[in-house]
Structure 1
Amino acid sequence: MPNQYGNPVTDKDREAVRRLHAQGLGRNAIAREIGRATRTVSVLAAEMHLTFDTTLTEDATRSRIAQLAEKRAILADALTDDALRLTEQLWAPAVVFSFGGKDNTYAERHVAEPPAHDKKALMSAAATAAAQSLRLVPPTDDSGAEDARSMLGKLFQGLAEVVKEGEAEQREEAEGESP
């Protein structure tokens, strides 16, 4: 099996891979030891039906996935805070300004709340921040719906019992009034 550099794999390479694998070395260590690419070692090992322990790689992958999930949660939290700050600005006092005239002068005025076009921009930015937050960390399916159904069910059962008791009392009163 020649490689792209014209350095064919030899039986000596195959034997070295088999021997080093039996000693418990990993793919990268074997590649360094025999001076071959890790891909070459992987191909040779596969041809000989040898497998490498991937436990460390799997652990590292799980750890990295957890780290990324944590970072997404932090970013989602920050985006939610941004959305809140932006919506607060909709009703806060603001400064409107302009540059103009032949001398390009600056003018400003304090207003009770931002003008409509600025409110539209604030709403758009807040909506974008909120949407991105939800994309990063979607709400869970456990919204408490089952608890609410259970509570409502118990409430309806209780109301039904009260109604039955009221009907029973009315019947008893009606029976007591009959001649």
Structure 2
Amino acid sequence: MPSAPWSDADDQTLRDLHASGMSLHAIAAEMGRGKATIHRKAADAGLDFDRTQTAKAAEAKKVDAADRRVTLELLYLEKATDILAQLTEPAILTFFDIKTGRVVEHEVAKPQFADQRNIAQASATMANAANRLRDLTVDREASAVDKWTDAMIDGPADE
């Protein structure tokens, strides 16, 4: 169902909502109009939606995500080390003794071969996850360094 024609009252509402600091998306939702319509009508009225706050918020989210990746990378490496240490620690074997009908625990100097293999695989999985997170961070940092180097050699990019 098409929207009602745009009115002078809609112009005033748009100006009021814009002056209150609402975003284009919020104004469109408030007025029940499409974002393209609000954008076009705002431009016709000489109103601008400053994106610097949006850009700053997006940059802050990127920084937070990078911090979380580094924290997670370190946690994975710590857990990989903890898991790997189990290869040389004494282990408790638990089994059911059919003759006595009891659960029996027996300590051995180190885990059995199958358990050692599982421990090594778990540790490798954690280390690989840490490496993938590090690669994400390094790739982003390298990209920024590449852009800076290009700008220093070639001058600022034309936009």
Q: Which amino acid aligns with 1:42?
A: K
Larger Rg: 1
Matches of 1:61 and 1:98 in 2, distance apart? 55
Amino acid at match of 1:116: F
Cα deviation, residue 79, structure 1: 0.7
Following superposition of structure 1 onto structure 2, how do residues 11-160 of structure 1 map, counting pairs within 5 Å?
A: 11-16=7-12, 19-20=15-16, 23=19, 25-27=21-23, 31=27, 35-37=30-32, 40=33, 42-48=35-41, 49=43, 50-101=47-98, 104-138=101-135, 140=138
Structure 1 distance, partners of 2:93, 2:26, is 69
Identical-pair percentage: 23
- Post-superposition shift, 1:41? 6.1
Pair 1:26–1:75, CA change in 2 (3 A): same
Shift of 1:2: 2.5
From the superposition, tell whether residues 23 and 52 of structure 1 become closer, same or farther in structure 2 (CA, over 3 Å). Answer: same
Shift of 1:69: 1.3
Deviation at 1:46, TM superposition (A): 2.6
- Give the aligned length: 135
CA deviation map 1:138-167 (0-9, x unaligned): 27479xxxxxxxxxxxxxxxxxxxxxxxxx
Distance (whole Å) between structure 1 residues aligned to residue 74 and residue 116 of structure 2: 23
Q: Which residue of 2 aligns with 1:159?
A: none
* Secondary structure, counterpart of 2:114 in structure 1: helix
Residue 10 of structure 1: how far off its partner (Å): 2.4
Consecutive unaligned residues in structure 2, runs of 5 or more: 142-159
The residue that corresponds to 1:145 in the other structure is none
**CA RMSD between the two structures:** 3.2
Q: Deviations over 1:65-95 (max 9, x none)?
A: 1112111211111110010111111111111
Tell me what 1:2 maps to: 2
Call closer, same or farther: CA 1:104–1:66 in 2, change over 3 Å: farther
Task: Report which structure shows greater RCO (CA 8 Å, sep ≥6).
Answer: 2
Q: TM-score, normalised by structure 1?
A: 0.61
Distance 1:110 1:29, change over 3 A: closer
Task: Summarize deviations over 1:82-112 as a string: whole Å, max 9, x none.
Answer: 1011111111111111124276521111111
Normalising to structure 2: TM-score of the pair?
0.68
Whole-angstrom distance in 2 between the partners of 1:113 and 1:23 = 71
